[in-house]
Amino acid sequence: MIVVREINYSNNFLGRITEKLDASRIEDYDVCNYIPSDCISITATPLNTKIYIPVDFEDIQYDLEDFIRSTASFIRTKSTLDRNVFILSLSGNLTDTQYIKIVRFIVENYDFCVIIDEQ
C-alpha cells in the first residue's frame, strides 16, 4: 500500500511521531483535522491527550485503559460520553515512545487509527 503523507505538519510533535511511525513500518494510520465516526482517533498532543472511541467500540475503552496504565503508570484516564463518541482523557504528559506504543496498540488490535491534527 502506498501512503502519501504531508511533510509540513502544523506542530513539531506530530512531525516527529509520523517519522517514527513510518520508520517502524506502521502504516495503518492517517492524519486529519476532524474526529471520524467509524474508527479510534487520538489527538496529536503529548499533554492531556484525548482518545476518541466510537460508541460501537465501547468495550475497547477498557482494553485501552489497561494498556495505558501498564505503559505509563503515572497517567490517569477519565472516560466521558459526548454525543456518539467516548472520550478517554489522559492526565499528564506522554513521551514520544509512550505515544507511539499507544498508536501501535490501537493499530495492531483494532486495525486503524486516526491522529487528529487540531491546527
Strands 40-43 and 50-54: antiparallel
Task: Write the pLDDT tens digit of every residue in 62-88.
Answer: 889 999 989 888 888 899 998 889 999
CATH code for the structural domain at 12-116: 3.10.28
- What gap in Å lies between CA 114 and CA 119, rounded to an integer? 15
Q: What is the pTM of this model?
A: 0.84
Task: Write the pLDDT tens digit of every residue in 26-53.
Answer: 888 888 888 888 899 999 888 889 999 9
Residue ranges of domains in the chain:
12-116
Q: For 65, how many CA atoms within 13 A lie in the half-sphere containing its CB? A: 15
